[in-house]
Structure 1
Amino acid sequence: MRKSRFTQAQIIGMIKEQEAGIPTAEVCRRHGLGTATFYTLKAKYGGMEVSEAARLKALENENAKLKRLLADTMRGNVVLKDLLGKS
């Protein structure tokens, strides 16, 4: 997945600008992003504060780590079953 050019604080700042009444096109032009990208980011970060966004990122990282651990464990179980079945 591609890394964003903007930090979570910047994204939340852009959303707050738009919510304060600045037209979406103006916010997008000022920050150099497309309106579709803006609305995608707004769907993900809308209504959040910076601390909540940081917590979300930490939970996503932890979830990815746990998924990798589960996949490794399941792969190990398959190998052990194959070894026991061939004996």
Structure 2
Amino acid sequence: MAKRPKPDQIVAKLLQADVLISQGQSVTAAIRAIGGPEATYYRWRKDYGGLSSSLVRRIKDLETVNARLREAIADLTPDKLILQEAARGNV
């Protein structure tokens, strides 16, 4: 099973494809040169099209932090509900 490329590698491949296309190669030939299926290229173009690799890295870091915060909230929510019930005197 092949490893998925990291976002900054995807941006580099998209830039490489742009260079090849600007040099006169067809889109299909440029996609073949960077490797991967045509559908993957267009999905990458849609997701990472106008981004720089540093911006993509920053977005991925923020997504990681966001996931960690969501997990922390999910862990604390039951505790909060128990405390609210206890404060109302229902326990």
* TM-score normalized with structure 1 length: 0.72
Partner of 2:5: 6
Consecutive unaligned residues of structure 1, counting only runs of 5 or more, are none
- Post-superposition offset of 1:13: 1.8
1:76 maps to which of 69, 75, 79: 79
Larger-gyration structure (1/2): 2
Q: Which runs of 5+ in 2 are unaligned?
A: none
Alpha-carbon offset, residue 65 of structure 1: 0.8
- Distance in structure 2 (CA, Å) of the matches to 1:19 and 1:30: 11
- Residue 36 of structure 2 is aligned with which of 2, 21, 33? 33
Q: How high is the TM-score relative to the length of structure 2?
A: 0.70
Q: Is the 8 A contact 1:45 1:53 kept in 2?
A: yes
**Superposition RMSD in Å:** 2.4
**What is the rounded CA distance, in whole Å, between the counterparts of 2:78 and 2:4 in structure 1?**
36
Q: Tell me how many residue pairs correspond in the alignment.
A: 84
8 Å contact from structure 2 (residues 11, 53) kept in 1: yes
**Alignment check: 8 A CA contact 1:24 1:35 kept:** no
Shift of 1:86: 6.0
